[in-house]
Amino acid sequence: MDDSGLVSHCYRMLGSITEAVEIAGAASGYEAATRACLTRAGTRPLPSDLGAASAHPERALSESSEILWLEPIPEHLMDGHPIDLGLIAALQRIPPPERAATILHAIEGWPTDRITSLLGDVRPSPISAGPTAVPDEALLIRYRAGFEQYDVPAIVALFTDDAIWEMPPFTSWFRGARDIGRLISTHCPAEHPGDQYLVPLKANGLPAFAVYMRDPKDNLHRAFQIQVLTLTATAIVHAVAFFDLSLFQTFHLPDLLQGLPPNPYDGTLRPHIERRH
């Protein structure tokens, strides 16, 4: 049995990679996994599913630890079917029985009679995965450099005018490059170049970064957030920064970096990354 296929199937059902791995590990096949998922399936949102964008990036951020938030899936647990964050978020808005029928029909390719045998007379919902742009490596290098050098104007220049930035478990979310820049300037704990270090990843088939933040007390870079990006060919249209630090273990990442890894610009070890002029 393809373990990544069963994990991905459960993840599409639940929106939680933690629960998906648990259920897939105990299930004997897709039928059993689907039934198990239906006993747990609820709705795992992103902040943008819950209300309007905030117009005040400088104000205190609203947070809710009670909400079960959507989680990302690491590359090593993905199958070859659509699994981008937009699709997973859309599936979470469908009632669980219809969600199961939709996934089995549209993604797993099950015939109608097999779905009916498992779920009864449940109709799949129309849904499609959004187009995925080929990541622009130069854009991603500029994005990483912008954060590592803490150059907010350089970061802002990479987002579209209607881009979305959200950060579960914070319910506040923001639209537009200008407000994203105001948010980062106000709330990001970084102060200097080198305070942040970004490790490139893949999540949900999208470019992503694990962000480590320097702790000034001991000069170690500690796990801070995992960012998942959606891009066009020339800009970033959506960024989700996940603050659940348990995800670092899921992505096989360390909780801290014992020393700053090689500077991505010249290959030498430095305590800080110098700002470019």
Per the structure, the complete domain to which residue 232 belongs is given by 137-257
172 and 251 assigned to the same domain = yes
Q: Following DSSP, what letter does each residue of 75-142 receive, concatenated?
A: GGG--SS---HHHHHHHHTS-HHHHHHHIIIIIS---HHHHHHHHSS-PPPP--PPP-PPP-HHHHHH
The whole-chain average pLDDT of the chain stands at 90
Length of the chain: 277
273 within domain boundaries: no
Do 82 and 141 share a domain, yes or no? no
- Mapped onto helix, strand or coil, the DSSP state of residue 49 is helix
Q: Give 141's contacts (C-beta < 8 A, 6+ positions apart).
A: 264
For 35-83, write each residue's pLDDT tens digit.
999 999 999 999 999 999 999 999 999 999 899 999 999 999 999 899 9
- Mean pLDDT over 200-225 rounds to 93
Tally of domains within the chain: 2
- Angle, to 10 degrees, between the axis of helix 3-14 and the axis of helix 30-40? 30
Q: Are residues 20 and 76 in the same domain?
A: yes
Does residue 215 sit in the same domain as residue 177?
Answer: yes
How do residues 219-241 score in pLDDT, each as one tens digit? 889 999 999 999 998 999 999 99
The whole model's pTM is what?
Answer: 0.90
Residue 264 binned pLDDT confidence (cut-offs 50, 70, 90)? very low
